[in-house]
Chains A and B, each alone.
Chain A
Amino acid sequence: MISLILRTATRFLITLLLLFSVFLLLRGHNDPGGGFVGGLVAAAAFALYTIAYDVAAARRALWFEPRTLIATGLLAAAGSGLTAFAAGRPFLTALWGTLQLADPVAVGTPLLFDAGVYLVVVGATLTIIFSLAET
């Protein structure tokens, strides 16, 4: 079933949803949000796209193979833990630095870790949704 209204709305919604998901990821350390929720929002955005158009279009819109996202996410999360070794600390010890923007912002390896969680959630959810939709 092709719905012009849904399709048009989706084109705007997906942008907003993806922005929102990144927003959730970034604010997660201080306010409700985080990589997991952010990843779910992003996955929901592409799920919406899948419903409005079809799987092939959603795959094109995603650019990356979902399984690549899973692998990248796992690597990012594990890699953020490995950086601790460089500082001579145990695995997954957080390292922090300050980023001088308008206000000084604390940036640390947990952000990379959370980004890894985000990617794994997007990748795993979309792997399942795409596979189911293609059968």
Chain B
Amino acid sequence: MGLLASVISGFALAILAPWVHRAAREATGLLLALLPLGLTAYFLGCAPGVAAGEPVRAAYTWVPTLGVAFSLRLDGLSLLFALLICGVGALILIYAGGYLAGHERLGRFYAYLLLFMASMLGVALADNVVTLFVFWELTSFSSYLLIGFDRERAAARAAALQALVVTAMGGVALLAGLLLLGQAGGSLELSELLARGSELAAHPLAVMALLLIFFGAFTKSAQVPFHFWLPNAMEAPTPVSAYLHAATMVKAGIYLLARLTPIFGESETWFLVVTAVGAVTMLTGAWLALRADDLKRILAYSTVSSLGTMTLLLGLGTPAAAQAVVVYLFAHALYKGALFLVAGIIDHETGARRVPDLGGLRRAMPLTAAAAGVAALSMAGVPPLAGFLSKELHYAAAWESPQAATVLAGASVLAGMLLFAAAGLAAYRPFFGEPRPTPRQPHDPPASLWLGPALLAGLGALFGLLPWLVDAAVLAPAVAAIRAEPATLHLALWHAWNPVLGLSLITLAGGLGFLATRNALQRWTSGLGTLESLAAQRWFERALKLVNGLARWQTRFLQSGYLRYYLITVISATVGLSGYAVWTRVPFSPPGSWLDALAYELAVAALILAAAWTVVRSTSRLGAIAALGVVGYGVAILYILFGAPDLAMTQFLVETLTVILFVLVFYHLPRFSVLTRTPARVRDAVVALALGGFVATLVLLATSAPGESTLTPYFLEQSLPAAHGRNVVNVILVDFRALDTLGEITVLSVAGIGVYALLKLRLAGGKSR
């Protein structure tokens, strides 16, 4: 119950948020933060049980026949994510209140943030793969709303759409992959699939499933070549960048890979793909981070690099790597979240965000500078901060990798140096050196703004100094979940003189070197850099253009705008396809006797035929409509003769209303004249006769079909006892087949509103001309 409430409460509060904001104004952020704070406390309360190896589980039936359940499960890995989502979420809500103070759509912003928080919590807690997918897509969707929050700016809209297209594309692949995995494992519950372990990886469907899941995870976690959407997403307001694009959402892909490690972690495909993609992303991101000028883009690219690092570590699949990825994830959320929030403060207080425009801010904003400094040192991997612990474990895992250890360790150290320099760029340059003139006079922000980064940076320092606060309670269970075996984790700042410490020292020296020569590097490689950063994006845009072109072409082809061509298309398709099916599958037996029809039935039939002929030959519209009415009334008489009063009544009324509609339309039509040539008329005749002949054949087939329907007696018997009605037709409409009727009246509504929209639009257009 608690688990369900933890997910649902966020959605409920998201709906209420705009009203809360209207009532509470400035206090909204604090008020709304109470929910994630409470959830953090709840999850912390669950921690001892989870650490003891007893996951919390809650399941609700959804579509039991397909194995789809709304099931949630809290194990070590989910717990770590849940704590990050709720803990950071609370700070972000408070920060957003200060950052967007006075914004007219702040209430809506809170709603989007909470929507995202609840969705992300759902991703971390979902046990059923379908539940996971639904929440996964909800995070993409809420991310779209948040990135495009400044909807007036075209760049924000474009970035939002790009992020949505890339992640939703991955989402579709992910759904296919997860369903294939479920097919292979015989269950859609992740916990049951995980219990099958690596035996599942040998299933023939597993490789396909894995590749599809990779596609989903890599797009979400901005791995090369899909990394370009993340820096573009920096168009979002900064609290969003800190929350979604540093601490939580982009790690959903990492979460998924970590989650599936017990199944695939030992397969060759896994090692090759995940390690390689991770290593390339790690280096690409770090390099681009050093070359960027915009504070937020520096941080975004460094996040890409960190995501690559975590992917790389998951690819290694060793116990040391699992430890490293968990500690890295935790430390990264703290320092990167803090740095983003600092970037937001700088932007907010000075009006500038490019590194060359900033300098010497430490005197004007000492609190911010302190938070930035601590967080940046953690990012650079300097002791005694949490980032140092994670970097040590990262190097150790790469150094001890069973394959390609030298290459991986070398790449890791290179990325470490670049990230060290990027950290200096983001947090040293703006605060030291000569003060520069900025659009606004800088000073420390209000408490709501500095609270978040100060707390996150402070926690980074605290957990670096006192790792025992979290290592056994929160981090070790997460490692155990990735390894699917009990795990212990003891973090310490000092181990001994070993090669890894040497690598750390090299990183320090190299990083200082990169920082010192950064501007020169940027100049030398200016031609090279844009090329590599845009290559993937250019392909993406090209593909998008192609799809749009294709859509335009087929729309022009199919949507000619002429009613006659629509009719010809629809009728030929119907007659062709259905006719083929009937021709090949249904044995045709001519009806037994043509002559058992009674004289007055034949008279009605003759009347209908004569009226139809009049419709075709008439040279007056009113005459044609009247004749058409005769056809309809004739059919209605046939209904009465064959005992269908309901149908007859409806037919009479429809015919009457149709005539009224025609009369109303006539008024607007030009005078009647013959515009078509003979060939076109012959073509129309052929099409019309084909449809009539086909329908007649169908009716004959249906009436002469051998065997009795089982439905008819069922409805006749059940109508009164089961549905309290003697009129079987009506009982079928409103009870037995009510869903069909619901669909039909929905179509009717859409048609009515469609006619209204078309007519009113034409009117409005006419007026403006």
Contact = CB atoms under 8 A, between A and B. Distances in A.
Is the A/B pair a real complex?
A: yes
Given A29-B724, A106-B724, A135 B653 contact: no
Contacts, number: 141
**Interface residue tally on A, bucketed by range:** 35 or more
Contact of A81 (B649, B729, B742): B742
B755 A127 contact: yes
Nearest to A31: B727
Contacts of B730: 28-29, 33-34, 114
B392 interface: no
Contact of A32 (B727, B742, B759): B727
Given A32-B645, A132-B661, A135-B763, A113 B734 contact: yes
Given A33-B646, A135-B759, A129 B723 contact: no
A32 B748 contact: no
B756 A127 contact: yes
A117 B741 contact: yes
What does DSSP make chain B's interface, helix, strand, loop or mixed?
A: helix
Interface in B63-96: none
A96 B756 CA distance: 37
A43 B656 CA distance: 11
B520 interface: no
Interface string B712-746: 00000000000111110111011100110110011
A33 B727 CA distance: 9
Contacts of B657: 40, 43-44, 47, 125, 129
A22 interface: no
Interface string B648-688: 01100110110011001100100000000000000000000
A40 B654 contact: yes
Contact of B753 (A35, A110, A113, A127): A127
A121 B755 contact: no
A120 B748 contact: yes
A17 to B, nearest CB: 11
Contacts of B745: 73-74, 77, 116-117, 120-121
Interface residues of B, number: 41
B721 to A, nearest CB: 11
Given A29-B731, A132-B665, A36 B650 contact: yes
B502 interface: no
A33 B746 CA distance: 21
Given A44-B656, A47-B657, A34 B748 contact: no
Interface string A11-53: 0000000000000000011111111110011011001000100
Interface string A83-109: 000000001101010000000001010
A3 B645 CA distance: 34
B654 A132 contact: no
Contacts of B650: 36-37, 40
A30 B654 CA distance: 22
A120 B756 contact: no
B147 to A, nearest CB: 33
In the A-B complex, the 8 residue pairs with the smallest Cβ-Cβ separation, listed nearest first, are A124-B752, A40-B653, A29-B725, A32-B645, A132-B664, A110-B734, A127-B752, A30-B726
5 contacts: A29-B726, A29-B730, A44-B656, A70-B752, A78-B742
Interface of B: 645-646, 649-650, 653-654, 656-657, 660-661, 664-665, 668, 723-727, 729-731, 733-735, 738-739, 741-742, 745-746, 748-749, 751-753, 755-756, 759-760, 762-763
